[in-house]
Amino acid sequence: MTFAFIIPCAINDLDNNSIANEAGVAVPANESAPSAYDQLLATVNSINHSAKGSLISVIEHGATALNDKQKTGLLKHIDILMEYNNNETIQKIIEQYPAPKDATPLTELTSLIWFLEVAQQHQIFNKVKRLFFIRPGQTFESAIHALAASKPESKNKFILPNSYPSSYSSEQTGHIFLQFNTRLWSFETSQITSLLDNLRSMLAFMQQRFEESGYVDLGHCLYKFIDANHIFYDLDLASNPNTH
């Protein structure tokens, strides 16, 4: 097995039919668009079609859990479903920040840390070379994304698109002027331990920004905490999602 995929989602928290680039950022509803759940299934199906045999994990961290029908349908196509909806810490975050735009970045990052810790403890990814973080609604095309992963220059590096100007003021972000599109990015399993250290620092920084009425999400935090020398910039990945 070469690849594994982590798909974070808060499917039943969305009050429209579209999924945004960054956690919690709303986009206009479109009656003809597929539901958030259908977009999740479409992403899973694209992985199963393009990267057969990959390990697929879904991390559900929203205020509203998947219902039995959604869960049964999803489990037919993935390997691991981690549901953190009823966790006391997750519930406290949601109670403290009722708006999904505010709660979702925190619950997503918290859940990602927990999941990677469990994965390390149980060696879930011991046969995997590279992990892809992919959001619902994105299509994985092996011919494109596996190419960057196979290059010698990307070994032991994060594969990310070029950064783009932050959508928020520097006062809100704690003087982070750029951010990454986190619809699709990846890293090698050998990087998990160091990534976890960075993710914990990101979470502390994110909590501070929200306590001070600021804002950051995963895209801002990756830009601030990941050393540029540890990044391979993939020009086939969309940089600024707002231009597409």
109/144 Cα distance (integer angstroms): 27
Kindly state the DSSP code that residue 142 receives in the 8-state scheme.
H
- Of 149, 185, 139, 128, the C-alpha closest to 44 is 139
Residue with tokens 């597929």: 34
In order along its 244 residues, the chain shows pLDDT tens digits of: 589 999 999 999 864 334 444 454 444 444 456 899 999 999 999 999 999 999 999 999 999 999 999 999 999 999 999 999 999 999 999 999 988 888 999 999 999 999 999 999 999 999 999 999 999 999 999 988 888 999 999 999 999 999 999 999 999 999 999 999 999 999 999 999 999 999 999 999 999 999 999 999 999 999 999 999 999 999 889 998 887 5
Show the CA angle centred on residue 39, arms to residues 34 and 44, nearest 5°: 150
In this prediction, residue 21 carries a pLDDT of 43
In this prediction, residue 1 carries a pLDDT of 58
Kindly state the DSSP code that residue 65 receives in the 8-state scheme.
P
Report helix, strand or coil for 185: strand
In this prediction, residue 32 carries a pLDDT of 54
Structure tokens at 212: 């001070």
- Pairing mode of beta strands 3-9, 55-60: parallel
Classify domain 3-243 by CATH number.
3.90.550
The Cα-based distances of 239 to 17, 26, 111, 198, 242 in angstroms read: 23, 19, 25, 22, 9
Show the CA angle centred on residue 140, arms to residues 134 and 142, nearest 5°: 130
- R_g over Cα of the chain: 17
Burial of 196 (0-12, 13-18, 19+ CB in 10 A): middle
Residue with tokens 């196979």: 150
In this prediction, residue 27 carries a pLDDT of 43
Provide the residue type at 181 as one letter.
Answer: N
Report helix, strand or coil for 56: strand
- Of 236, 192, 167, 206, the C-alpha closest to 4 is 192
Show the CA angle centred on residue 119, arms to residues 113 and 124, nearest 5°: 155
The alpha carbon of residue 60 and the mean position of all alpha carbons in its chain are separated, in whole angstroms, by: 11
